[in-house]
Amino acid sequence: MQRVSFLLAYPLLWLISRLPFRILYFLSDMLFFLVYRVIRYRRKVVRENLNLVFPDKSEHELRTIEKKFYAHLCDMFLEMVKTMGITRQELDRRFTFSNLDVLRSLEEQGKSVMLMFPHYASWEWVISLDPHVRGRGVAIYQPIKNKYFDRWVRRVREKLGTTLITTRETRDVMRQNKKEGNLITYGILSDQSPMPKRARYWAPFMGVTVPMHVGGESLCKLMDLPAIYLKIRKLKRGHYEGSFILLAENPGEVPDYQITDAFFREVEKAILEAPEYYFWTHKRWKHRNKVPAQMSSD
């Protein structure tokens, strides 16, 4: 069944990936109407999240953010598919980077780095960074359950040279790279919601105490990787800019969870600047009432 569903979807994905951007965004506008007005995809989750983190905003302000978010969500989905047929030159024009000297100064010291970023703006097109740095790009990701779609996603994301590794193989791959002295630019999405029973750290995020994903910080400490926040801004439709904020050059010298705290403060700044570009369909705050007693009393 997995193979059948992929074979049915692939011709459409291929066709979308070959569309000019002008037509792609016309299609996105139609998809927005379907997703937002007809299917009403996760609108309850989005509204709960927005009401929770923006208690002082009016109903009109919240609905405006909501609609802009769904429009961006449709854009981003089709941009991800478009990656299949996009050229390196076109992607370089649409996703640019400022202050690359932050990465290059660390590379000159022979240091691999960890880029930590959230589900914000366009995380899919971060693969465009690979040609701009000396270190080979390695992205940590969660595999898709459908193995055929998973292979397709890997192929699309690796087309510019980035290597994808699963969370399960991350530590082994990192140890091997360190042993061989390979210069690597790792990337990890660090704003996921861990299960409460597995959470080691709880802290406020947008004013609400939730379990924090500390995998990025743990890997930085384990492998002595400078932690860098990748800030992504949407400049206009189909155009993004990434910039780099050094969170910790020597993570082993930083008290536990301070890197995670610093990361989430940067995420909050981005959300407050343009909330419509955060991934509101994700149930990021669903475990807010499940703080373990021993942690809530600390």
User: Which pLDDT belongs to residue 159?
Assistant: 83
Residue 294: is its pLDDT beyond 70?
A: no
**Rounded average pLDDT over 269-285:** 97
Encode pLDDT of 215-228 as tens digits.
999 999 999 999 99
Euclidean distance between CA atoms 102 and 246, whole angstroms: 7
**Rounded average pLDDT over 52-81:** 97
Residue 296: is its pLDDT beyond 90?
A: no
Q: Quote the percentage of the chain above a pLDDT of 90.
A: 83
Residue 278: is its pLDDT beyond 70?
A: yes
Euclidean distance between CA atoms 232 and 215, whole angstroms: 21
- The secondary structure of residue 119, as a DSSP letter, is S
Give the number of other CB atoms < 10 A from CB of residue 20: 9
Residue 298: is its pLDDT beyond 60?
A: no
CA angle 265, 250, 95 (to 5 degrees): 55
Euclidean distance between CA atoms 227 and 219, whole angstroms: 9
Pairing of strands 239-248, 227-236: antiparallel
Residue type, 262: A
Q: For the whole prediction, is pTM greater than 0.85?
A: yes
**CA end-to-end span of the chain, whole Å?**
50
Residue 37: is its pLDDT beyond 80?
A: yes
Encode pLDDT of 141-177 as tens digits.
988 899 999 999 888 888 888 999 999 999 999 999 9
CA angle 259, 253, 162 (to 5 degrees): 55
User: What is the three-class DSSP state of 166?
Assistant: strand
